[in-house]
Amino acid sequence: WRFVTLPWQLTKSVPATASMIAKTVSRAVAGEAMAAPFSAPTTRFNGRLTSERSVAVVSMNLQDVKKVK
């Protein structure tokens, strides 16, 4: 039965999909689109690799850590 109704359900989603594509293109043309994937600002985690290293250490109560689990 699903094979009979699936094409009909897909045709109902076409207008919403077309509208979403049009809005996305409109935002991109206006310069309001979301940032492209993998275009994050430079931080210490995604910048150039260097020999400089830093370490942070903290002491925690084991019971507090187990509460998180």
pLDDT (tens digit, 9 = 90+) per residue, 7-56? Answer: 888 888 899 999 999 998 898 888 887 777 777 777 777 777 788 888 89
Q: What is the pLDDT of residue 19?
A: 93
> For residues 33 and 27, is the Cβ–Cβ distance under 8 A?
yes
Which amino acid is located at 9 in the chain?
Q
Instruction: Decide if pLDDT at 64 tops 80.
Output: yes
Q: What is the pLDDT of residue 2?
A: 75
CA 69 from chain center: how many Å? 26
Q: What is the pLDDT of residue 22?
A: 93
Q: Where are the domains of the chain?
A: 1-33
Q: What is the pLDDT of residue 66?
A: 93
